[in-house]
Structure 1
Amino acid sequence: MSQKKRFTEIDALRGLAAIAVILFHYTTYYDNRFGHVKEGYIDFFWFGEYGVQLFFIISGFVIYMSVMKVKSASDFAIKRSIRLYPAYMFAVALTFVVVSTSVMEDLKVGFGEALINMTMLQDFFTGVGRVDGVYWTLRVELTFYVLMGILLLFGKAKHIMGVTLSWFTASVLIQVVHRTMDTELTSIIREYSIASFSHMFIIGMMFYAIWQHGHRIKYHLVIGMAVIYDIFFHSIENALFTLLFIGVFHLILNGNLKFLSSKVLVFFGTISYPVYLVHQNIGYVMINRMESFGLVHEIYMLVPIGVSILMAYGIYRYVEQPSQNALYKLYKERRDAYPKDAMLKR
């Protein structure tokens, strides 16, 4: 299977994960948090919460691939910022406005908190609420990016086995110490070291190594260790979904899931980031409003889903793409105007 095909399939897989998360949030999670007006609301999409695990595995693969292509830690940081911030900042503003005009007080944050959310660093500040609950995953992703940036800074990014084994060992130690002592300090360390999710990123990184170098035993051993980690520090159910995602990745790399390259799935993969950013709280406002008018049947869930997809496409088409193109062009022009050799002479 060609590289282009393979990346298209993985991108489509991200779209499927986003759809699963949306269905979970609009049914099971909404019902648990607010309670649907209709009793016995469909609870079939409980598995959608595991879509986040798939996001992290995909990030491990895609981001490590990006790390192998960039020229420096600053190059990586700038390109990641260009990729993430335009759509994110627009989504924060849009969500804040919509939620602020609703009756759902539990979802609201102050204007100052919204401004802090614009930085994507809100979870690093005590007492700052999120404009949208799904933003918690962005802190995890940002921490992973910082770790990758540090590797680039010290020229260690290519040593994938040393990197993953060191990270894995550190995560195990953090988890064991927390379970043994269970203090506020150990909780903070576990939280901000992303020890609870490190094995997901490591699995993705191992799949990148498999894609690059073939099915070597050492890569599969690390993936197996990650599954054991999942069982021991999370749950068997968690590990079963991890195994499912591992199986899907194997099939993709072996060229057995070519149907994922269909235009529909690729479309969802393309808008997966903005749809993830805007679907939850805005969707909750719509669901709450519809149910206040007596529109309580599950079929009406198609309304917030459809609106989320339309908003996401609009953000992708009119915010994300134009902003990224302009910023990438500006960055390239400045980088070419001041090449590394010239900067060293200054």
Structure 2
Amino acid sequence: MVRKRLDWIDQTKGIAILAVILFHFFQNYPERFDLVVALDRNGARFGYAAVDIFFVMAGFNTSYALASALKTANLTEISVDWKLWLKKRISRLYPTYFLAVVSSLMLYQWFGHLKINSIQNFILSCIGLAGYEFQSINPGFWFFTVILEAYLSIPLIFYFCRGQTVKILGLGILVAALTKALCWVLPQSSPSFWFLLQNNFLGSYFFQLCLGLYWGFVYFEKQSFRRIDWLAAIGTFVIGIVICAGMVLGKANITYMFGFDVLLSPILFLGLYALLQFLSQWRSLQWGMSFLSLLGLYSYQLYLIHQPLFVVALRRLNQLLDLPPYLHLGFSVLVVGLLLTIYGFLFVKTEVFIRKQTRKLVSSQA
């Protein structure tokens, strides 16, 4: 049995990486006039939500593939060689990451922005442990660290939950609740607060990962989402709106990551699924859907490489161009978009070449 590729999965990841790229563009844009500040502030919400979707997708793709393998082998219980499974995942993650490290260092070196303040942090970043204090090379490398934590955790999740999907979802809810509760208790001046709350620790995305693991099995069986999935997602979203409104009225500095991210993720994921299913019916939109699919296919690579390019390119354009603010912004969007397209294309081609040479070397030594 050949597992059918689901276009809406690639398109969902395409929307997510596009949201992240736009957020980081305005975050790094050097001229802080009103429009840029507004786009940065509002884009942050979409950027954070997009990262949540990536972790739902990581879980979903994993369980959907496992369900497909079970059906092919006519098995009723999950039986996986987790050691081999992890080896395959890590062998896919690390070559791209190491290439991203090298390309980021080359960009900074060529444009004179390479500064290493801590050798320890630099080494930790190079080996993929770019946590809260260790983002020495590329601020986007935290994503690799947390996605690595996610894959290392998946075998443990299935072991403790005995492969029972409802227990996996329950575990995700429990860990998310404990993580957010700790954030409420800890002072915001504490490094532990930011480690737990923000983008450096799997706890912030554990529910999203487990939700994806749960829904991957559900979708494989039904080839759609159930009424109960929609009702639960809408219910948690309404609760999240109430909590968020209360936090805003209470003048909390951070509203999204105190728990609204957990309550928003289910409806956001299902909403994107419904939207993409609807748009796929329109023949005139196929070019746009194909573009989103392409972005989704290379979303991991784009996540790892785009921020250093923004840093060096936007600074350089700001030095070279003497234009009115809005014209400067529009021109920068076009130029940086073109540069990212070229950079991404060359990066992917180099990655494919390295993987082919590695496979040849392994085959010759076998």
Common fold, TM-score beyond 0.5? yes
In the alignment, is the contact (CA less than 8 A) between 2:10 and 2:294 conserved in 1? no
* Cα deviations by residue, 1:281-307 (Å, 9 ceiling, x for unpaired): 221111101111125511222222222
In the alignment, is the contact (CA less than 8 A) between 1:83 and 1:324 conserved in 2? no
In structure 2, the residue matched to 1:311 is 343
In structure 1, the residue matched to 2:272 is 248
In the alignment, is the contact (CA less than 8 A) between 1:117 and 1:131 conserved in 2? yes
The CA RMSD over aligned residues, in Å, is 3.8
Secondary structure at the aligned position of 1:286 is classed as helix
In the alignment, is the contact (CA less than 8 A) between 1:12 and 1:268 conserved in 2? yes
Q: Distance in 2 between matches of 1:204 and 1:140?
A: 16
In structure 1, the residue matched to 2:22 is 23
* Cα deviations by residue, 1:317-337 (Å, 9 ceiling, x for unpaired): 221x34445656888999xx9
Check 1:80–1:52 CA distance in 2 against 1; reply closer, same or farther (3 A cut).
same
Cα drift, residue 84 of structure 1: 1.2
Q: Distance in 2 between matches of 1:229 and 1:129?
A: 35
In structure 2, the residue matched to 1:341 is none
Note if 1:141 corresponds to 2:147.
yes
Cα drift, residue 210 of structure 1: 2.7
In structure 1, the residue matched to 2:74 is none
After TM superposition, where is structure 1 displaced by more than 6 Å over at least 4 residues in a row? 328-334
User: What TM-score do you get using the length of structure 2 for normalisation?
Assistant: 0.72
Q: State which drifts further: 273-282 or 189-198.
A: 189-198
In the alignment, is the contact (CA less than 8 A) between 2:186 and 2:193 conserved in 1? no
In the alignment, is the contact (CA less than 8 A) between 1:73 and 1:149 conserved in 2? yes
Check 1:173–1:156 CA distance in 2 against 1; reply closer, same or farther (3 A cut).
closer
Partner of residue 91 from structure 1, selected from 90, 93, 100: 100
* Amino acid across the alignment from 1:256: F
In the alignment, is the contact (CA less than 8 A) between 1:99 and 1:108 conserved in 2? no
In structure 2, runs of 5+ residues without a counterpart are: 70-78, 245-254
User: What TM-score do you get using the length of structure 1 for normalisation?
Assistant: 0.76
Check 1:250–1:324 CA distance in 2 against 1; reply closer, same or farther (3 A cut).
farther
Secondary structure at the aligned position of 2:111 is classed as coil
Q: Distance in 1 between matches of 2:209 and 2:164?
A: 15
Q: Distance in 1 between matches of 2:272 and 2:178?
A: 30
Q: Distance in 2 between matches of 1:104 and 1:241?
A: 36
The percentage of counterpart residues that share the same residue type is 18
* Amino acid across the alignment from 1:318: T
Q: Distance in 1 between matches of 2:320 and 2:121?
A: 31
Cα drift, residue 209 of structure 1: 2.9
Partner of residue 90 from structure 2, selected from 81, 86, 90: 81
In structure 1, the residue matched to 2:136 is 130
Check 1:189–1:204 CA distance in 2 against 1; reply closer, same or farther (3 A cut).
same
In the alignment, is the contact (CA less than 8 A) between 2:175 and 2:207 conserved in 1? no
Secondary structure at the aligned position of 1:120 is classed as coil
Check 1:181–1:19 CA distance in 2 against 1; reply closer, same or farther (3 A cut).
closer
Alignment of 1:140-219 (within 5 A): 140-151=146-157, 154=159, 156=161, 158-180=163-185, 182=187, 187=193, 190=196, 194-214=202-222, 215-216=225-226, 219=229
Q: Distance in 2 between matches of 1:242 and 1:167?
A: 13
* Cα deviations by residue, 1:40-83 (Å, 9 ceiling, x for unpaired): 44744633423222222222211333455483221121111122
* Amino acid across the alignment from 1:198: F
Alignment of 1:23-102 (within 5 A): 23-27=22-26, 29-31=27-29, 35-36=30-31, 40-41=35-36, 43-44=38-39, 46-47=42-43, 48-49=46-47, 50-66=49-65, 68=67, 69=69, 71-102=80-111
How many residue pairs were aligned? 322
In the alignment, is the contact (CA less than 8 A) between 1:64 and 1:205 conserved in 2? yes
